[in-house]
Structure 1
Amino acid sequence: MNGIITLITASVVCIWIVLRSKAVCGIDTGTTDPNCEVDCACCKDRDCGPNGYWPTGNCKSGCIDGYRGHRCIRKCDYPECTECPDFSYICTKCKAGYYPGSSYNCSSKCPTSCKSCTSSTYCTECIDEYYNANGFNDCRYRYCPLLCKCEHNACVSCESGYYGTSSSCISKCPSTCDDCSSQDTCSTCKEGKYNGYEFDIIERLLLNNCTHECRDHCITCSSYNNCLQCMPGKYGTRCQNDCSVGCENKICQIGSGNCKCKNNFFGHNCTDCVSGKFGTSCEKTCPIFCKNKRCDKSSGNCLDGCLVKTIVGETCNTCVNGSYGDICNVSCPPNCKDDKCSRDSGECSYGCKDNFSGEKCNSCKDGTKREPETQKSEDSKHTAIVVMGVIIALLLVVVISLIAVIAVWKRQSTDRSPKDAGVSFENKTSSSIVGHSRNEDSYSGDISKTSEYEKIESIQDIRS
């Protein structure tokens, strides 16, 4: 009875060995790959030779993945195996993403974020972007991909120039795009490009991959006829206008042309010069005697007239006739012809009046030195003295006549009756007045003759 039990047990073990090892009587019965029999094709590095126990030779460095045996001509029994021992029906190493499992056939999958694992909860290596942390070894934590913008470890948008959140934004936009959703659809164009109809003509080609070019002088545009940013020095929806030369760095607002002014300029568009300056670049200074320091930007002519009345001219650089000096407040020499003299020196500009000579016409032609201004002063003094003498004489005559009349009246009033006195006084007064008038006429005649004589003498002195 014991012998029967032993035989049955041996038979079961033998059957199990056959099923597990694919071997019969010590011979491996696994599937043979005929391609591996030529040129050591399934040996690592194709390195094999007749060395070793087997007369046909061995693979000196072992087998490539998925093969076994001394010449590596037999496949492993399971497709996901990479290593399996001879004379066995098990896998000792699996392809990436699988592990042997309880059946040792590499049919068990690793977690999706694992590159390799030993069980469903222990990853030995994570795929890119995932990592182990906080005591967990199943690669549950994820880095945000390099080109992604993530929320809660999920890629929700791509960095500029890339698209495809489902593939970690590894796809690159066309070179004309800054942002896109595909190779044919750009949401933002690079400088100088736009989406839409070519030249804004609806009959032309419609493209959304930023192929069309903006106008000349336009940096960015939303369409051919609508520029958003012009090159320095230009403004307008088509960049057709020039910024003012007074704009700093030649930059102005695209709609109005307004800008920040350089030195010496002012105004919204910086087209005017500040007070006291003129010229294309407002680099010149207005004439010093311009009123309010305002002058025309092009010509420099004073806009509000001159600072003082003695200075005239469009640029306030000329003295009024008959004056000279820095502010034209000095009179020209009296004997200058046409009362014209140099503003700086006072020398007569057009020569002298008759009989005078010299740069300032203060000499007679015969060489006699003369000071016209001094002579004129002396003549004025002489005339004043004569006039005062005449006035004083007249006053004395009037006073004497009044005294005489009063004396006569008093004398007669004591000797006569009021009536006679009145008649007598009237006659006396009339006679006195008549006599006084004759005397006065005689005196005036004498004075007039004297004045005429003096004038004649003066004229003769001058001529001599």
Structure 2
Amino acid sequence: MTSGLCNSCTSGPFCNMLCSENCANANCNQYGTCIGGCKPNWRGNECNECDSNHYGSNCSNKCSVNCKRKICDNVTGSCTFGCKRGFYLQNCEKKCSTSCLSACNITSGECEGECPVDKYGSQCDKTCDKNCKNGCSRISGLCNSGCIDGKFGIDCLKNCSFGCISGCHQANGKCICKTGWQGQNCDECNQNRYGPGCDQHCSPICLNGTCFSSNGSCKEGCNINFNYGKVIQRSSENESNGEDYSAQYVVVPILFISIFLNIFLIVRNIRHIHYERKNSEIIISQQSSTFDENTSTYNRLEDIPDYQELGQLRQPSKYDELK
């Protein structure tokens, strides 16, 4: 020290301290202040701390581009002013769910505010069931606003019965029934109907007109006093009134069967008569043959002499002539 000042590479009262290695050109005054500024990524009079955009022991790590103003703590790298919209965690390296309508919590990533109509969950990343009407609860995912038409239940996964006229109660499935259906949920046929659509009438032969809905077989047996004539008449009335014709479907086959049986009996009688006539002809033929044989025998007897004498005895005698 010649003039009371340290050289450019030392500092301190006794000029026994080196300038910071982060000083530009390694020059500083006796107070340690870097002359000419700091090397890149460093700041301060003695260039002993990272600038606002870097962190780490060597200030070699850049602050996250997702930090607001790209400023972070020079030791931990956590964003000093928080994250840009859509990012969270200390260093803002994780992206918020795309379903968040606004920002998310910087620590947990939970969406702040409401989710879109068809989303739910803390990060609004789960999809509400398609059967929900107007979205679902953000927390549970249940259809709080009810179900679309044709569905019911707390999760809207159950189908309203086919027998409902229009939709059903969202909680229990109760509804108003179509013609031919019955029950609280309109899920069974009336006693006199059957078929998948409960649109087929039970046969009028069934006692009390009731049948099983699965196949139409009579529940209580058949009506032994069933009158086919009345069925035909009623079928005609139903046709004129545009009503159901199920009675005809029972009677017509029965009539066809009756006609078939009558034809069968007639044919059998004709064959029997033909058979009897043929037998009679055979008997007459046999009798004629017997007669011819007897005549032939008689002719042969006339050729016998004794028989001829006997024949002469039968001729008129002379005594008869005298008379």
Q: Shorter-chain TM-score: what band?
A: 0.3 to 0.5
- Greater share of strand: 1
Answer 1 or 2: higher relative contact order, Cα 8 Å, separation at least 6: 2
Taking structure 2 as the reference length, what is the TM-score of the superposition?
A: 0.36
